[in-house]
A and B are shown apart, each in its own frame.
Chain A
Amino acid sequence: MPNQPEANNWPRWFDPRSRSLGTFGFILNRVTALGLTLYLLMHLVALGQLAKGADAYDGFIALVKNPLFKLGELLVIAAGVIHGLNGIRIALNSFGIGVRRQRSTFIALMAVSVLVIAFFAYKMFSEG
């Protein structure tokens, strides 16, 4: 990878070695954004099944009841919660609010994310 700025240096975005908490926030936001975009595409494909008639749609619904898909749904919820809460921190910072407390805000918001994700996991997997 070249030392000077190059568009194809982007894999370095995901390398947290020797970096601080801020980079973890940056990486989390990128990964969750990519995950949510992928989900949106899959969602559109699923909706496309509606146009193929009732049987195709029912078959698709049976497939997504599989526990693996449930785990996928939980990942989507996790990505949404993390991206949303982290995004609020970044938006507030962009208005000059809480910039010098961004580290503690990040830790607090990620703690909230864990609680929310655990709540959804419990709801989804305990109710069968």
Chain B
Amino acid sequence: MKQGITVFRAIVLTLGFAFLYIPIASLIVYSFNESRLVTVWGGFSTKWYGALFRNEQILNAAWLSIKVAVLSATLAVVLGTLAGMVLARFGPFKGRTLLSGLTTAPLVMPEVITGLSLLLLFVTMEQLIGWPAGRGMTTIVISHITFTMAFVTVVVQSRLSQMDDSLEEAAMDLGARPHKVFFLITLPIIFPALLSGWLLAFTLSLDDLVITSFVAGPGSSTLPMVIFSKVRLGVSPDINALATILVVIVAIGALVAGIFTARQKKIRDRDAQMALAANQQMIESLKKG
């Protein structure tokens, strides 16, 4: 019986991992394929990586994507923090439900609709006030802020609602004016949430295709748009190389995050020990005194 369960477990595990990782593994393997045909192995080669780094179109798109992601993630964190702060701290003011609905709508709205409505907005604005002139990086950044801000708001709001309100009150009680309370107490305490909000926004912006396709103009193709248009003409090996590089970057990111978390846990354990020892010390000194 027990044997049976173990075998079953092993099979399920293997199948699960195979399902998740075989596509990625084959992608990596074929990125080193000599042959131009993606499905025929022609020997080991790194020539597609070379080709990739000579491909102006892909390099430009990657650079644009990174610029857009950094810019929109940063602005989304600023705006999302403001919105999260207002929602978590300002009580039941008039229009709270409306604000809450508006900031989180992009989470549930189909991307095509968000993209289309933003496009219509930009066209109308251009006709009425002449800005933004044409579609390009500006419109992409604005659109990315719109939908990534929703995620940041949710992260910040939930972190703030976990935070003990009396920390901010205590700071005010000790003589800090509200803006100082925010910069000296609230911001440092929620900083990890802001960091993870930024990373989330960065990743979402980096791989968005649908909304971007609506609001991008000629000459402002992001990396996902270039990959998608190339793949429509058939998978070429240099795309495999590009994907492999992305996988490696993501894997390194995950690894660093993992090591960081493990170190944090170690520090926490040590601190708990210290608190315990401190308690013991105090009880001893009470017994003596």
Does A associate with B in a complex? no
